[in-house]
């Protein structure tokens, strides 16, 4: 189930039980649906189906051909917050600021912009439950609850470092995916400040002097419409953790008005002792609920550190055992790759990428480009070098994150680590294949070089743990794996030839690879091979043959249980048959 089905824009489902937001136009929820249906074009996106609707707008599942994956599109209503609300310019500025936050515990924003009068935000499509639903779906130990909320706290920390204050954190605004990763989302009421300054940004969006948020989780300074800072998120996090651990809100009252009065007066219910929650954890949460923001922790990172220290005083034996198991698996993975420890392993990405992209390769390509005789060769080489440098840095960062999830954060299994690393290795090989094609720097290749590097494979698919796990398992025999490796190498070469504009060469390699891939039982590779063959045939003006190849790709993709390839094949089919 998608998180967007249970809560959209903070209004619906569990959110309504927790209390409505201040400064929200309640009539919006009764407005007619926005005129957007599945299959419509929204900028570069193709909508699939609507997954949620609330007072701020709608969320649609969509396909993004540029990122080559399924995304969620949040389409905001025009003129949101008519009663003293912000305009599109402020909302767009805040969304763009949030898009700079790259952290595993914050939902990734890929694109922001406007369609007509509406602001849209394209983000990761996350499958899972809100923390509220997850916490109540079955009995959870204090260890499990704290581990999940500590991840959410890391997401808030990352936002604070980027100058963003959430102002509406609660159990409904964080999602826990099937792999256990928690992500904070719904920054619709965020306050944006410059991260290097204590001064708010210009405009009302930077003052923080409006009563916005969900009353039960709002800090006293929010209720008083005073200046707010990161401490209000710290307060909301502690309310949420208190509620999860002790199954009630920390402030007495039978309705939002009474609870608000208790928050303002500091009437705090002392949590019961014992129950698997240490005294140190209780003390840290109570401090985070202080009425005076200056009495709370200096920052949420200090609060999280105090909670973690409190969890080491003997009550977390079960979690420690689990951590040892995961740590052993990580150690085995590291040892198998010749690494001495987790830190060393997670730094190995730079050396891996340097095997194919280093100063010698740059010098060789630069000489070849400048000697091609093309008047634009120097500019093209500069653009190619910058694009590959940027991609390589992203690859190294993805490598480090995948490694750290198992060997440092310990929130990922060794099996999933192998899947992510295998995906990253394939992406690296695709870059290597393209660099080999670019090396001769033939005039036609130089002409297409910039476009080719702009089409470098996106790395986001290597973080899509649900898709990685759901895909057909690779064969276990060494012979079959060797054949897969050979075919993938050929496929990467054919793709590089296509990107470089060498279409006839690409066709020859793609046809042979597709035939051989069809003869082996691993369907996802056959799907990739026929998809590439269809793209090459379409580029050569042979639509009937392209259609046949793409139909085979779609069938093989369904057989191989690949979430991405069926969408790719069918989208390409629409283009080919439509033309």
Q: Which residues are known catalytic residues?
A: 168
Q: Residue holding tokens 């891939």?
A: 517
Contact criterion met (CB below 8 Å) for 207 and 200: yes
Contact criterion met (CB below 8 Å) for 55 and 76: no
- CA 299 – CA 307 distance, rounded (Å): 13
Coil/strand/helix, residue 412: coil
Residue 357 burial by Cβ neighbours in a 10 Å radius (0-12, 13-18, 19+): buried
- CA 443 – CA 460 distance, rounded (Å): 32
- CA 284 – CA 271 distance, rounded (Å): 12
What is the secondary structure of 343-407 as a DSSP string? Answer: HHHHTTHHHHHHTTSSHHHHHHHHHHHHTS--TTHHHHHHHHHHHHHHHHHHHHHHHHHHHHHHH
Contact criterion met (CB below 8 Å) for 48 and 73: no
Q: What are phi and psi of 53, to 5 degrees?
A: -150, 140
Using only the alpha carbons of the chain, give its radius of gyration.
26
Q: How far apart are the first and last CA of the chain?
A: 36
Sign of CA dihedral 531, 537, 539, 541: negative
Q: Give me the long-range contacts of 515-519 (CB less than 8 A, separation at least 24).
A: 516/487, 517/487, 517/491, 518/552, 518/556
According to the 3-state scheme, what is the secondary structure of 220-281? HHHHCCCCCCCHHHHHHHHHHHHHHHHCCCCCCCCCHHHHHHHHHHCCCCCCCCECCECHHH
Sign of CA dihedral 327, 330, 336, 342: negative
* Per-residue b or e along 275-298, where b marks 16 or more CB atoms closer than 10 Å to that residue's CB: eebbebbbebbebbbbbebeebbe
Contacts of 431 (CB under 8 A, 6+ apart): 356, 357, 388, 391, 392, 395, 456, 457
- CA 402 – CA 385 distance, rounded (Å): 26
Contact criterion met (CB below 8 Å) for 382 and 439: no
- CA 18 – CA 171 distance, rounded (Å): 9
Please state, as a whole number, how many other Cβ atoms lie within 10 Å of the Cβ of residue 494: 27
């Amino acid at each position: 189930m998608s998180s967007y089905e249970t809560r959209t824009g903070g209004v619906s489902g569990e959110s309504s039980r927790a209390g409505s937001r201040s400064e929200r136009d309640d009539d919006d929820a009764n407005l007619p649906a926005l005129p957007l249906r599945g299959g419509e074009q929204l900028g570069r996106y193709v909508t699939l189906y609507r997954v949620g609707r609330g007072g701020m707008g709608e969320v649609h599942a969509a396909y993004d051909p540029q990122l080559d994956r399924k995304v969620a599109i949040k389409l905001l209503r025009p003129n949101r917050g008519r009663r003293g609300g912000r305009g599109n310019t402020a909302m767009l500025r805040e969304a763009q600021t949030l898009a700079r936050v790259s952290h595993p515990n914050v939902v990734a924003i890929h694109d922001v912009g406007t369609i007509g009068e509406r602001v849209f935000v394209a983000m990761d499509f996350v499958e899972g439950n809100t923390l509220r639903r997850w916490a109540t779906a079955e009995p959870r130990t204090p260890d499990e609850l704290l581990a999940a909320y500590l991840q959410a706290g890391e997401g808030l920390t990352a936002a604070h470092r980027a100058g963003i204050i959430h102002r509406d954190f609660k159990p409904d605004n964080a999602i826990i995916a099937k792999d256990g990763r928690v992500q904070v989302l719904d920054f619709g009421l965020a306050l944006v400040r410059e991260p290097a300054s204590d001064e708010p940004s210009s405009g009302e969006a930077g003052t923080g002097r409006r009563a916005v948020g969900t009353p039960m989780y709002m800090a006293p300074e929010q209720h008083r419409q005073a200046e707010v800072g990161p401490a209000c998120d710290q307060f909301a996090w502690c309310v949420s953790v208190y509620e999860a651990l002790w199954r009630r809100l920390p402030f007495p009252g039978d309705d939002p008005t009474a609870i608000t009065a208790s928050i303002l007066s500091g009437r705090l219910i002392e949590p019961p002792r014992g129950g698997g929650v240490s005294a140190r954890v209780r003390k840290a949460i109570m401090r985070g609920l202080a009425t005076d923001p200056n009495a709370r922790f200096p920052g949420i990172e200090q609060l999280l550190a105090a909670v973690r220290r409190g969890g080491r005083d003997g009550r977390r034996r079960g979690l420690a055992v689990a951590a040892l198991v995961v740590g052993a698996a990580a150690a085995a993975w590291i040892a198998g790759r010749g690494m001495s420890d987790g830190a060393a392993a997670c730094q190995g990405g730079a050396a891996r990428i340097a095997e194919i992209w280093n100063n010698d390769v740059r010098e060789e390509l630069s000489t070849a480009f400048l000697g091609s005789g093309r008047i634009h060769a120097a500019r093209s080489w500069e653009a190619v070098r910058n694009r590959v440098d940027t991609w390589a840095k992203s690859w190294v960062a993805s490598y480090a994150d995948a490694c750290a999830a198992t060997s440092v954060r310990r929130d990922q299994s060794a099996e999933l680590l192998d899947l992510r690393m295998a995906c990253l290795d394939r992406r690296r090989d695709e870059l290597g294949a393209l660099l080999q094609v670019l090396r001769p720097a033939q005039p036609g290749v130089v002409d297409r070089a910039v476009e080719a590097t702009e089409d470098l494979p996106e790395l986001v698919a290597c973080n899509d743990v649900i898709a990685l796990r759901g895909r057909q398992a690779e064969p276990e025999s060494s012979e079959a794996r060797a054949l897969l490796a050979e075919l993938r190498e050929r496929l990467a070469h054919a793709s590089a030839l296509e990107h470089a504009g060498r279409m006839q060469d690409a066709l020859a390699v793609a046809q042979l690879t597709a035939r051989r891939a069809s003869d082996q039982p691993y369907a996802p590779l056959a799907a990739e091979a026929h998809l590439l063959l269809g793209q090459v045939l379409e580029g050569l003006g042979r639509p009937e043959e392209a259609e046949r190849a793409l139909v085979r790709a779609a069938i093989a993709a369904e057989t191989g249980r690949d979430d991405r390839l069926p969408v790719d094949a069918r989208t390409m089919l629409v283009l080919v048959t439509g033309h």
